[in-house]
Amino acid sequence: MTQSTSETIWLTRDGYDKLVAELEELKGPRRAEIVERISAAREEGDLKENGGYHAAREEQGKLEGRILQLEDTLRRAQVGETPADDGVVEPGMKVTYRFVGDDEDETEEFLLASRELETGSGLTVYSPQSPLGSAITGARKGDTVSYLAPNGKTLEVEIVDAVPYTG
């Protein structure tokens, strides 16, 4: 992860609560389950050829990595209230946009929030610090904004709608 450890992460109260619940689950029952599996595999003897032991250790490494990531995210989190339903793009909004020149029905949607926030709905999450996110923050429904895409091209998008994300 190349993200700066001092960068603030915007989360809704619901998103923050979900991450706290995940962290508690990982640090409690999930961690205990993996430790138990490692211990049981250790009792089987020769660890060099014990696939169950190595799989459990690998899973433990991934679990501990996710715990560190969640702790860092929660430490840097700025919990915001759900934004006003005023059509202004800001963190916490579900944004519908269209590339200028595309047909009216060719729109895309995303949630403007921290990339760490998993919506579980399949909705893409863009960071307010991303090229598109930073360009449209503060724009209103109906505005057209341009931004420099990572490929070096300047793209124009029209904000079709911006409503508070409700989950």
The string of DSSP codes covering the chain is: --S-TT--EEEEHHHHHHHHHHHHHIIIIIHHHHHHHHHHHHTTS-STT-HHHHHHHHHHHHHHHHHHHHHHHHHHEEEEPPPPSSSB--TTEEEEEEETTS-TT--EEEEES-TT---SSS--EE-TTSHHHHHHTT-BTT-EEEEE-TTS-EEEEEEEEEEE---
**pLDDT score, position 90:** 87
Whole-number pLDDT of residue 18: 85
87: Cα separation from own chain's centroid: 23
- Segment 100-121 shows an average pLDDT of 79
**Cα–Cα distance measured from residue 162 to residue 111, given in angstroms and rounded to the nearest whole number:** 9
Whether the pLDDT of residue 112 is over 70: the answer is yes
pLDDT score for 120: 58
Residue range 44-85, pLDDT digits in tens: 877 777 888 889 999 999 999 999 999 998 988 878 777 778
Model-level pTM?
0.60
Domains of the chain are 9-80 (1.10.287.180), 93-164 (3.10.50.30)
